[in-house]
Amino acid sequence: MFLPIRDDNPHTITPYVNYGLIIACGLAFLWQLSLGEEGGENAVMALGLIPGRLFGTVASDGSVPAVMTVFTSMFLHGGWMHFLGNMLYLWIFGDNIEASLGHKRYLTFYLLCGVGAALAQTFQAPNSDIPMIGASGAIAGVLGAYLVLHPRSNVKVFVFLIIITTINVPAFLVLGFWFAGQLLSSAAADPNAPGVAFMAHIGGFVVGAAMVFFFKKKHVHAFEPAHSKAFAVDKRPVRAVMRGSVPEAGGRPKGPWN
């Protein structure tokens, strides 16, 4: 088992939009918690994306237009693990994509990836009455873009085997492993049953990987080379690793604990 904690790409801009998206998701999640169990469920039913409601096969309660739930659903989450996992991936990978696209185009790109993810899931189960929530689809688009632009960048991951250590793993392996897991899980899952919306992850990833060529700045090239040595194992104490262990590449290191 492994957990990504940071990458070795340097900061080149302040990712205001990425910070804003994390804050928006955080505020929405706190709002959900404040509603209590029943109120939170009602919020999910009203603001979550229900495929059948979008296609007119499930009656709408009229509180929120069905098309708007494509966007409102991106900011809701089903629990702490769902929320924290999504925000971790957005924190690690989103800033470099924002730098490669620019602030305004990154926001548009993110939302369009979320739309693509939502459509992929709804077309798989167009009559479903189960609400879909979460930023996972839009973030999957960010991961797809990262795979195209920075496939050889190294991601520092915690490895949980016999011992706990960290290792530099190329992004194409981390993200490729993640995407393969989504494909396998989607093949085994029932799209009409409650659970993880794997097809939304797949759709968002593919949309992001394809769209990034049209959204990136002209001077930004795909398939950027590595900034540090792959598969280097950090033998320092975990506390030191968390302070920043990937060699810097001309910029300030980053990570969720910096």
Q: Say which amino acid occupies 33.
A: L
Question: What are the average pLDDT values for consecutive 10-residue runs of the chain, which has 258 residues?
Answer: 85 94 98 96 94 87 88 96 95 96 98 96 90 96 97 89 81 93 83 80 96 96 86 62 42 36
Helix (H, G, I), strand (E, B) or coil at 221: coil
How confident is the model over 88-126, as pLDDT tens digits? 999 999 999 999 999 999 999 999 999 999 999 999 889
Q: How many residues does the chain have?
A: 258
Q: What is the pLDDT of residue 185?
A: 86
Neighbouring C-beta atoms of residue 17, cutoff 10 Å: 23
pTM to 2 decimals? 0.86
Burial track 220-244 (b if 16+ CB lie within 10 A, e otherwise) = eeeebebbbebebeeeeeeeebbeb
Give residue limits of the domains in the chain: 2-242
Q: What is the pLDDT of residue 236?
A: 57
Q: What CATH class has 2-242?
A: mainly alpha
Are the beta carbons of 200 and 139 closer than 8 angstroms? no
Strand duo 2-7 + 164-170: pairing:
unpaired
CA distances from 214 to 109, 136, 209 (A): 10, 22, 10
Q: Which residues contact 220 (CB under 8 A, 6 or more apart)?
A: 100, 149
DSSP codes, 131-147:
-B--SHHHHHHHHHHHH
